[in-house]
Amino acid sequence: MFLSEKRVDLTANQEEISDHETFQLEFDWSTKRWYIRTMQDKYWTLETGGGIQAAGDKRSSNALFDLIWQKDGSVAFRANNGRYVMTKRSGHLFANSDVIDDDTCKYHFYLVNRPILVLKCEQGFVGYKAAGNGKLECNKATYETIQVERGEKGVVYFKGQNQKYWHYDSEGVTEDSDTPEGFYLELREPTRLCIKTTTGNYLTASKNGCLPYGPTVP
């Protein structure tokens, strides 16, 4: 089910994505937390009793949330009262859980307005290795545009300009597969994100340009 905003209530009971199921994340640099704004220009807000509603006309401390990324690619929201947002049986959202419950506190994240990605790290852009073979490196002066296709439960697939999908192993990433392989995107700051394999390993940007994966958590 998709999270949905109808009037002021926030619920998880929709099967389709519309403007009511699409939200904008706005980063607060002082607290390193996020505001979540609806397409109707209202902020998610923690109300008395722990209820979460789309009722905020302006930013406030009760409109700030931590995004807690999980090993399975899901995300949990921690509200200003220190508790985790959970979905009640009615579908309504309340921040009254002290732990991240697998069934009620985990949500899947999609970047709906980014069908094309250009990736850059401290070493440079992600692009093709000069030797070819579809190998990707992260120290290029020019970039490779990457198509993002949405899968199930937060999974995304990356396709290159050659219409081949990303394939990963312990040595790095190649863009040579006819079969899509899943990844998760984790938004860390407005212009920074992590890429994680469905096995729970993060892609790392090595100084030599390789893109191996490892268990390191950012």
Q: Is residue 147 part of a domain?
A: yes
Q: Which of 129, 123, 213, 119 is nearest to 176 (CA)?
A: 129
| Rounded average pLDDT over 144-170 | 92
Instruction: Please tell me the distance from the alpha carbon of residue 32 to that of residue 12, in angstroms, as a whole number.
Output: 26
| CATH number of the domain encompassing residue 178 | 2.80.10.50
Residue percentage of the chain with pLDDT more than 90: 64
pLDDT value at 7 more than 60: no
Q: Is residue 106 part of a domain?
A: no
Q: Is residue 110 part of a domain?
A: no
Which three-class secondary structure state does DSSP give residue 146? strand
Instruction: Please tell me the distance from the alpha carbon of residue 47 to that of residue 130, in angstroms, as a whole number.
Output: 55
Number of domains present in the structure of the chain: 2
pLDDT value at 218 more than 70: no
Which residues are CB-contacts of 162 (< 8 A; sequence separation ≥ 6)? 134, 175
Q: Is residue 15 part of a domain?
A: yes
- pLDDT tens, 98-148? 999 999 999 998 888 778 999 999 999 998 887 667 889 999 998 889 999
Q: What is the mean pLDDT of the chain?
A: 89
Domain span at residue 183 reads: 116-214
Same domain, 121 and 89: no
Query: What is the pTM for the complete model shown?
Result: 0.88
- pLDDT tens, 36-92? 999 889 999 999 999 999 988 999 999 999 999 999 999 999 999 999 999 999 889
pLDDT value for 113: 74
Higher pLDDT, 128 or 156: 156
Same domain, 90 and 34: yes
